[in-house]
Amino acid sequence: GSGWVDGGLELDGVDDYAATVSATPPVDTSGSFTVSAFAQAAAVPAKPAVLISAPGTNKNAFEVRYVPSATPQTDGGRWRISTSQADTASSPGSNAAYGPFSGVDEWHHVALVYDGFARELRLYVNGSLEETACTDADGDGEADEPTCEERISSAENVITFKAAQGFHIGRTKTGASTWGEYWPGAVSDLWTFQGALSETAIAHLSQGVPGTDTTLPGND
């Protein structure tokens, strides 16, 4: 179907999905890696929907999902990355979220960057991290505006495991043999890289230029 760059994959949100051909993941998710894509929902999902996942046997090494807001009239929802430390049912994980933002029914470029050396997880939307700071003019450690919430779309001290299967686009593993959270919309220009791309390289990918070369600026 139509897409942001050179066509796209259209998914119905019911049972459609795609998966990488190889049974093994295209990158080792226990080390530094980057995954990015353009996404557009056919309509704002009423429940969480997963854009990309990296399944293991019991858990997902990572999931990139859209989480709708409880107040969609004033909050467009948010993108969220979830990771797991190990492929066990009880393994703890980490999250990085970006939002609120304009409705997910518009095209957005979403990028997951995991730096295994720094153990840092970063979520970029349209080429940028979310960095919202609250003003503290009197320096008392409290925000001047009580309702202000500091947000940054990254997480520290993150450990991931090596996914056991290929990447899935448009769904996630919800049990030992069950799948769910199907993506209701389009996916375009999906990239994977072994290594943590720089902010300059992510900004380059977020422009959505047809025929973009795999040698990206800022990652020599």
Least Cα distance to 198 among 34, 10, 21, 28 occurs for 34
**All domains of the chain in start order, with CATH:** 9-205 (2.60.120.200)
Cα(137)–Cα(112) distance, rounded to whole angstroms? 34
pLDDT (tens, 9 = 90+) of the chain, 220 residues, equals 778 888 899 999 999 999 998 888 999 999 999 999 999 999 989 999 999 999 999 999 999 999 998 887 788 899 999 999 999 989 999 999 998 877 888 999 999 999 999 999 999 999 999 876 565 556 666 655 665 566 789 999 999 999 999 999 999 999 888 999 999 999 999 999 999 999 999 999 999 877 766 667 776 5
Q: Kindly state the greatest CA–CA separation across the chain.
A: 57
Please give the model's pTM, rounded to 2 decimal places. 0.88
Cα(25)–Cα(9) distance, rounded to whole angstroms? 19
The dihedral built from the CA positions of residue 134, 136, 140 and 145, taken in this order, carries a sign that is: negative
Least Cα distance to 79 among 111, 54, 55, 53 occurs for 111
**Residue 61 backbone dihedrals phi, psi, to 5 degrees:** -60, -40
